[in-house]
Amino acid sequence: MKTMNMISRRSFLKATAAAAVVSALGLTGCGSSGSSAAASSTASSAAGSAAAASEAGQTFKVGIVNYVDHASLNQIVASVESRLDEVGAEKGVTFDYADYYANAQADQSNLNQIGADLVADQVDVIVAVATPTAATMLAAVEDTDIPVVYSAVTDPVSAGFDGEEGITGTSDALNTEAIMNLITAINPDIDTIGLLYDLSQDASTQAIADAKAFCDSKGIKYIEKNGTTTAEVQMAAEALVAAGVKAVFTPTDNTVMTAELSIYETFTDAGVMHFTGADSFALNGAFVGYGVDYVQLGEATADMVVELLCGGKTPADLPYQTFDNGIVTINTESCEALGLDLDTVKEAFKPYCTEIVVVTTQENF
C-alpha cells in the first residue's frame, strides 16, 4: 500500500499560516458540483439528496479524514480512493479526494480543526475513518446537510450513530469468541491469557468484556495490561512476558496496532503468541490477525459514498453494514520464530474460520 501523507498539501499551507497542523475538508450537496457557489450550497444540498443520478463531467469533493497512521486504517483509505477512482471512470465523474485528505494523528484538537474546515470548504461528503473521527465529524456538520460516511467503527450503536440522521457507514465489529477459540485450539491446556489494549479505545471495550467472559466460562485466568502510547504499550507487553503468559489477545485497538512493530519481537522472542483483531497486526509482526477484510470494508464505504452522491440516496436510506468475521491471517515469520509448524497451525484453525491467509512482516503497506 502507498504511504499516506500526514496532511494534505493545501492544509499544510493553511496550517503554516494559522499554526494548525491538520488539513481541511468541506461539503456541498449531492447534486451540486464541487465548483458551486457558496450562496447556493444549501439549496443545492437539498436538491441533491433527491437527485437520481450524477451528470457526466461532474466533480465531487470527497473529504477523507483518517484518525491516525495505522495499517488497517491506511488500508481503508487506499481502498476507498481506489474504488472511487474505478467508479468515477465508469460514470464519467470525478471524485476529488486528493485535495481533501487529512490525518489527525490521533489528536482531538486536530480533529476539531479538520471538522471546522470541512464545513468551510464545502465538500460533498465526509468519509470518517475510525470512531473518534466519525464522532467529531458528526458534531462538526450539525445544522448542515453534509452527510458523513464512517468506516471501521466497531460498535455504531454504542457510539450513538445508529439511527442518527446524516451519518451511516461500515463496521469492523469483531467476533471475539471466534478468536478466543483460535487461542485454545492451538493451546488446549492454556491456563492464563494476556489482554493487551488501550483503555481509552472504544473499539476495545466490548471485545475485552467478551474475552473476559470467555475466559471465565473456560476457567482461564487473564492478566490485563494497558497503554495509551507506544512506549506504554511496549512496557505493557514486557509486563505480560514477565508474568509468564503464553498467549495475548488484542482487539481492533488503534493504539496497540500503531505499536505492533515495536512489540512483536518482544513476544516472539519470549514464545508468546499474539492474537489480534485485524490482518494488519499480522502484517506488522503479530502471530495472528483475525477479522474483516479491510480492503473490502473500504470498497463498501466508497460504494456508500457513490450512492449518496450519484444515486440520490440519503444516509437514512443506507443502514450501516457489518461483515463476516472469518479470515485468519498468519504471519509465517512469527510462526517460525515461535517454533510452530505452519501446517499444524492451519489444521488447528480450520474449524474456526472461513479462510486462512499467510503473510510476512511488512513495515509499510
DSSP 36-50: --GGGHHHHHHHHTT
- Write out the three cell numbers for 92: 464519467
Cα gap 25→27, rounded to integer Å = 7
Residue 34 has pLDDT above 50, yes or no: no
What lies within 8 Å, CB to CB, of 337 at 6+ separation is 268, 269
* CB 273 within 8 Å of CB 246: yes
Query: What is the three-state SS of 103-140?
Result: ECCCCHHHHHHHHHHHHHHCCCEEEEECHHHHHHHHHH
Residue 177 has pLDDT above 80, yes or no: yes
Q: Global pTM?
A: 0.70
- Write out the three cell numbers for 192: 492464563
**Please, is 304 exposed, middle or buried when counting C-beta atoms within 10 Å of its C-beta (0-12, 13-18, 19+)?**
buried
pLDDT tier for residue 238 given thresholds of 50, 70 and 90: very high
DSSP state at residue 284: T
User: For residue 321, what are the CA distances in angstroms to 153, 216, 236, 349?
Assistant: 10, 31, 34, 26
pLDDT tens readout for residues 298-319: 999 999 999 999 999 999 999 9
Superfamily of domain 176-291+326-359: Response regulator (3.40.50.2300)
Question: Around Cβ 336, how many Cβ atoms within 10 Å?
Answer: 12
Q: Which residue type is seen at 122?
A: Q
Q: Do domains 9-172+294-317 and 176-291+326-359 have the same CATH topology?
A: yes
Interior angle at CA 79, CA 77 and CA 81, nearest 5: 70
pLDDT tier for residue 364 given thresholds of 50, 70 and 90: low
What lies within 8 Å, CB to CB, of 37 at 6+ separation is none
pLDDT tier for residue 22 given thresholds of 50, 70 and 90: very low
User: Which residues are 94's β-sheet partners?
Assistant: 59
DSSP structure string for 296-308: HHHHHHHHHHHHH
Cα gap 178→193, rounded to integer Å = 15
Question: Around Cβ 192, how many Cβ atoms within 10 Å?
Answer: 15
Q: What's phi and psi for 336, nearest 5 deg?
A: -65, -40
Question: Around Cβ 187, how many Cβ atoms within 10 Å?
Answer: 16
pLDDT tens readout for residues 111-137: 999 999 989 999 999 999 999 999 999
Q: What's phi and psi for 27, nearest 5 deg?
A: -150, 145
Its CATH architecture, for the domain 9-172+294-317, is: 3-Layer(aba) Sandwich (3.40)
174 SS3 class: coil
* CB 29 within 8 Å of CB 49: yes
Which residue is listed with cell 500500500?
1
Residue 29 has pLDDT above 90, yes or no: no
DSSP state at residue 321: B
pLDDT tens readout for residues 325-360: 789 999 999 999 999 999 999 999 999 998 999 999
273 SS3 class: strand
User: For the chain, which residues make up each domain, given as ranges?
Assistant: 9-172+294-317, 176-291+326-359
pLDDT tier for residue 54 given thresholds of 50, 70 and 90: low
- Write out the three cell numbers for 103: 490525518
pLDDT of residue 254: 87
How far is C-alpha 313 from the geometric centre of its chain's CA atoms?
24
287 SS3 class: coil
